[in-house]
A and B are shown apart, each in its own frame.
Chain A
Amino acid sequence: MVKLTIDNKTVEVPEGSTIMDAANIAGIPIPKLCFLKDINEIGACRVCVVEIEGKEKLVASCNNQVEEGMVVYTNSPKVRRNRKKTVEMILSQHNSNCATCARNRNCSLQTITRDLNILDVPYEKELYPLPWNKNFPLIRDADKCIKCMRCIQVCDKIQSVKIWDVEGTGSRTGVYVSGNRKIEESDCVLCGQCITHCPVGALRERDDTEKAWWAIENKKKVTVVQVAPAVRAAWGEVFGIPKEEATMGKIADALKRIGFDYVFDTVFSADLTIMEEGNEFVERFKKGDTKQMPMFTSCCPGWIRFVKSQYPHLVSRLSTAKSPQQMFGAVMKSYFAKKIGVAPEDMVTVSIMPCVAKKGESNMELFYEEYAGKDVDIVLTTRELTRMIRMAHIDPKTLKDVPCDEPMKDGTGAGVIFGTTGGVMEAALRSAYYLIKGVNPDVDAFEEVRSSREQPKWKEALFKIDDITVRTVVVNGLANTRELIEALEKGDVHYDFVEVMACPGGCVGGGGQPIKDGYELATDRSVNLRQLDENAPLRFSHENPSVLKLYEEFMEKPLSHKAHMLLHTDHNAWEMPQVNR
């Protein structure tokens, strides 16, 4: 332990603690902008500087360690004066049109400016906007970027995709797409982790709320919306609703009040995915197809973009099943459209997703008999959902639990955990066991695959079903995934079935989720989804009555010709920029 004094308070902290950690222990939060624990500890913004007795120069508290007997001032006149100057400098190069910024009232720079009571910036405003393709699902406003470097570090370290880099030198140093590329020509997987780790509004998703309002307004269009499992675990954070009260039923109420005609829960199509993907896996496994290389899940579009750009030779190892979002869209425009007697071209399918990559995924044109269109027309993130709730000036306190619409009303606990790392695998194994044995396993039989954001590298689990052993592994975060693939290719490890989620912690930590700077909420949200599964009346996808009815009335059976046409896809049907590494 190291003993030191911070703001006249004596504290004892473990050796190797940073000054910032020590201050936190002493109950003194030091203001900061660029710092991101374990990812970006580079002392770039100089906002967290502190004064150390006997030293002339101020020291960054985020990446310098405490010393025995050190006397630290986090708020001396010198510190306060300099911190203010530094923030004024940042503001001089920041587009501070806060009123029209997606991060208004959720911006670390805005907060710190208020906290330092900066009412006037003495410097000339110098903005350096750069052109950007506004049709791309990821939008960057260069003149809001404060060069904290977090996006670069998150993309490098967590995702290993390296989309962002420092560009230019000297006073012209900035952040841009690496290698002089344009974003649309890059191998950006659209995970959106750079967005959720941006302290300001320099990065955001393309806002598609106006498209949704247009569809709602248009009398000729029937609007059908689905809500992904991970959304319910996070949307309440924005409105300060406790997690047990922030239910799917209230989201359904909000969406109805916003004006959507039909509301569904993506949990239904998660169960449907299990029917297709589970059957596909059992079939491929039995054929010996997974002896050399495993089958990979295909529900995460960030992962699909990753594998297509980095390991194109592994595309054939992906499940051919569409993601739950796309499956639901296809079901809406075929089965459901017929049911309600609406032509698919008059239907606008909308999805609320914790994800930015889903905006990219929905872009593919498909065929429904003679009609060509998209499975899902408009994809909104959880953040856009909360913005629509605000736009409709709905008081969240007045929301009530309302059920989803028929005939796809049901969802199981297995479908709910699709939103967390390990959940797809667990749901698939529950049903695969049933497929092989004809009876249900203990519902917790596969708890070993339950993973988390904090899980190092990946989580493997071997399951014996009679005399067969199924080797499974669950991985989240693309840097971990890259390591796993390299281990698989070297032959260091071998698995039959691999679940990949691009975002840390799975969809709960998705790039479209609400942002709380400095906090990683994925694990809390995972716990929420797991509790929902635990309390669910049905916990096996193959027992979902709506799904069974869909097969009975329309799809015939899993992997049927019709299912193939509507619920499966050709991952080679579209191009992803290739990258040589």
Chain B
Amino acid sequence: MSRLEIPVPDKAQTVVEQLYKDLERRIEASPLGLCPIDMTKAFLELCHAQTCGKCVPCRVGLRQLKNMISDVLNGRATMETLDEMKETAVSIMETADCAIGYEAANMVYKGLVGFYDEYVAHIELGRCNCTYKQPVPCVSLCPAGVDIPGYIALVLEGRYQDAIRLIRKDNPFPTTCGFICEHPCEARCRRNMVDDAVNIRGLKRMAADLAGKVAPPACQPSTGKKVAIVGGGPGGLSAAYYLQLMGHQVVVYEMLPKLGGMLRYGIPNYRLPKDRLDDDINAILETGVQVKHGLRIGIDITINELREQYDAVLITIGASTDKKLGIDGEDANGVISAVKFLLDVGKDAAIDLKGQEVCVVGGGNVSMDAVRTAVRLGAKKVSIVYRRRVADMTALHDEIEGAIAEGVEVQTLKAPVRIETEDGNVKGLWVQPQMISEIKGGRASVKSTGEPEVLLPCTTVIVAIGQDIESKHFADAGVPVNRGVIQTGRHGGFDLLPGVFAGGDCATGPATVIKAIGAAKVIAANIDEYLGFHHIIQSDVEVPQPNLADRNPCGRVNMTEREACERICDFDGVELPMTEAECKQEASRCLRCDHFGYGVFKGGRKTLW
């Protein structure tokens, strides 16, 4: 009849396609701590089901691999089994006709190399020593261990003040984190298995918005001990808050005029309004933390003087100096580091960019802050110059999108080679076109296309390729430092310098606010122990019982933003709050993993630390 036919989707196939999507989301939410060998077996079964069945290695070999893995799991394998598995996997990799076969075998092979010790342990013990490490995914993944299901339940009940109190047990920056936390908690939210992760960060922001001013808890009786904290950023202030609550007198040394560190002088006001940052800082200061402004460590006062004057010293100086590009012309007028550029804006001493053309080098969050700030300072044209692709940028997706919406140009696959100058002033940025290339260490590398260099005309170059730590003074004083990063033990202290501790970016390299807060908790506890105490930090807020409603699929409420054309004219906050109805709906999406699932058995809630 007809020579050709229009294909109609097969009904079964349509459902399978949906199931693939379900599986994708499920894998995204896969808990930590699962037995990697058991998972390999599961993956292998999926791969084997995909085989077309034409070729021997894929059709038969994958099954034999699966049998051998089963033997390992069932305590029937020997070390010879592992050798045979390796040989079989390599053979399939080398002989299979298509990727269905050789990539499946490659997964097994990667595991045999990557978690060989686990294989051996299974064989030697005849038992699996893996344990479930993620009873409540969001809490497990929050570096500060904030009681997320707890405060979401409080938000659901409209108890916003209690939500803030509960968050402060683990994080004294609820408002700040409500605006700018990178929310690692959302990554493996179990709600992903139903539809999409809960908007945890957004709910925290709503709690902060709706709670109003919430006083901190009372301090425990004074211990008479004094602790100096060098650096008033999120890490330093968090430690100060907890140590003060424990009854120690904390004095924060901050060389800049105001507290907050990178939160004030790095993150632009449109992302984190400074009056909202002050809400958190004021609550911290209300506990009685003292502050000394303007003293620079190593110049005005030394670490050793602090050691003499205080019972303990904590270094939380952050990572506040810039990294250099190391190309010709970098010392020309008009080249500025992103750190310095944003610091000046924070100090109300921004450079004038009206009518200028600006290139910002780098693809991280600081780069996005720089371009969007440059737009607000009136630049005529602002471009991001980046060696790789947009997909390779480390900046949050929303930040990149926000920048593009605000008219920022994105020049990808362009490696800066030198800065063109005229009379000592920037005239442009020469870049070498790149092409994306081999994947190395999980990341796509780039190489030159061999095309001629291109000049991007501009009058200002902002360098946002990373930050360094001003650790020289500390190194001179005997603090262990490696490549600029202060090297502490896992307790945040130093074996050879009792009473001195360090944490946050200066001890890890540039990281996130919530990581600095998490480190501050650890160090506050360890300073307390060092001082000879065992104070407990807890909250008296009772978490509501979970509601028993069915969790039917429901879309995630995302935050909306002010119109781009309007918001680029000022530095006011960009993000709009949820409505209360949206907030309630979003809070009701939480699956309460603290109560349903493993959390009710083990690791569901830490009420104190």
Chain A residues within CB distance 8 Å of chain B: 41-44, 52, 55-57, 59, 63-65, 67, 149, 165-173, 176, 180
Q: How far is the CB of A155 from chain B (nearest CB, A)?
A: 13
Contact residues in A for B2 (Cβ distance below 8 Å): none
Q: How far is the CB of B274 from chain A (nearest CB, A)?
A: 43
Q: How far is the CB of B43 from chain A (nearest CB, A)?
A: 12
Among A41, A43, A172, A173, which residue has its beta carbon within 8 angstroms of that of B73?
A172
Q: Check A180 against B125 for contact (C-beta < 8 Å).
A: yes
Q: Check B548 against A170 for contact (C-beta < 8 Å).
A: no
Bound complex: CA A41 to CA B596 (Å): 11
Contact residues in B for A166 (Cβ distance below 8 Å): 131-132, 602
B33 at the interface (CB under 8 A from A): yes
* Selected A-B contacts with CB under 8 Å, 6 pairs: A55-B550, A67-B548, A168-B35, A172-B38, A176-B127, A180-B127
- B75 nearest in chain A by CB position: A130
Q: Check B130 against A57 for contact (C-beta < 8 Å).
A: no
Chain B residues within CB distance 8 Å of chain A: 33-35, 38-39, 42, 73, 125, 127-132, 545-546, 548-550, 595-596, 600-602
Contact residues in B for A42 (Cβ distance below 8 Å): 600-601
Contact residues in B for A64 (Cβ distance below 8 Å): 545-546, 548
Q: Check B125 against A169 for contact (C-beta < 8 Å).
A: no
Contact residues in A for B548 (Cβ distance below 8 Å): 52, 55, 59, 64, 67
Q: Check B128 against A168 for contact (C-beta < 8 Å).
A: yes
Q: Check B129 against A63 for contact (C-beta < 8 Å).
A: no
Contact residues in A for B549 (Cβ distance below 8 Å): 55
- A52 nearest in chain B by CB position: B548
- A67 nearest in chain B by CB position: B548
Given the known A-B contacts A167-B128, A180-B125, are A172 and B600 also in contact in the complex, defined by CB atoms under 8 Å? no
Bound complex: CA A22 to CA B133 (Å): 34
- B547 nearest in chain A by CB position: A67
Bound complex: CA A240 to CA B377 (Å): 89
Contact residues in B for A167 (Cβ distance below 8 Å): 127-129, 131
Bound complex: CA A41 to CA B602 (Å): 11
- A128 nearest in chain B by CB position: B74
Q: Check A169 against B35 for contact (C-beta < 8 Å).
A: yes
Contact residues in B for A41 (Cβ distance below 8 Å): 600
Bound complex: CA A173 to CA B131 (Å): 9
Q: How far is the CB of B563 from chain A (nearest CB, A)?
A: 41
Q: How far is the CB of B590 from chain A (nearest CB, A)?
A: 16
Q: Check A172 against B601 for contact (C-beta < 8 Å).
A: no
Q: Check B131 against A165 for contact (C-beta < 8 Å).
A: yes
Bound complex: CA A41 to CA B601 (Å): 8
Contact residues in B for A55 (Cβ distance below 8 Å): 548-550
Q: How far is the CB of A486 from chain B (nearest CB, A)?
A: 11
Given the known A-B contacts A169-B131, A180-B125, are A43 and B38 also in contact in the complex, defined by CB atoms under 8 Å? no
- A63 nearest in chain B by CB position: B600
Bound complex: CA A44 to CA B602 (Å): 12
Bound complex: CA A554 to CA B38 (Å): 67
Q: How far is the CB of A205 from chain B (nearest CB, A)?
A: 24
Given the known A-B contacts A41-B600, A42-B600, are A168 and B130 also in contact in the complex, defined by CB atoms under 8 Å? yes
- B599 nearest in chain A by CB position: A42
Apart from A167-B128, A168-B38, what are 19 other A-B pairs with CB-CB below 8 Å?
A: A41-B600, A42-B601, A64-B548, A65-B545, A67-B548, A149-B601, A166-B131, A167-B127, A167-B129, A167-B131, A168-B35, A168-B127, A169-B38, A169-B132, A170-B35, A170-B38, A172-B35, A172-B38, A172-B73
Bound complex: CA A452 to CA B39 (Å): 49
Bound complex: CA A167 to CA B601 (Å): 14
Bound complex: CA A43 to CA B550 (Å): 17
Q: Check B132 against A57 for contact (C-beta < 8 Å).
A: no
- B128 nearest in chain A by CB position: A168
- B39 nearest in chain A by CB position: A170
Bound complex: CA A492 to CA B390 (Å): 61
Given the known A-B contacts A169-B34, A172-B38, are A43 and B600 also in contact in the complex, defined by CB atoms under 8 Å? yes
Contact residues in B for A168 (Cβ distance below 8 Å): 35, 38, 127-128, 130
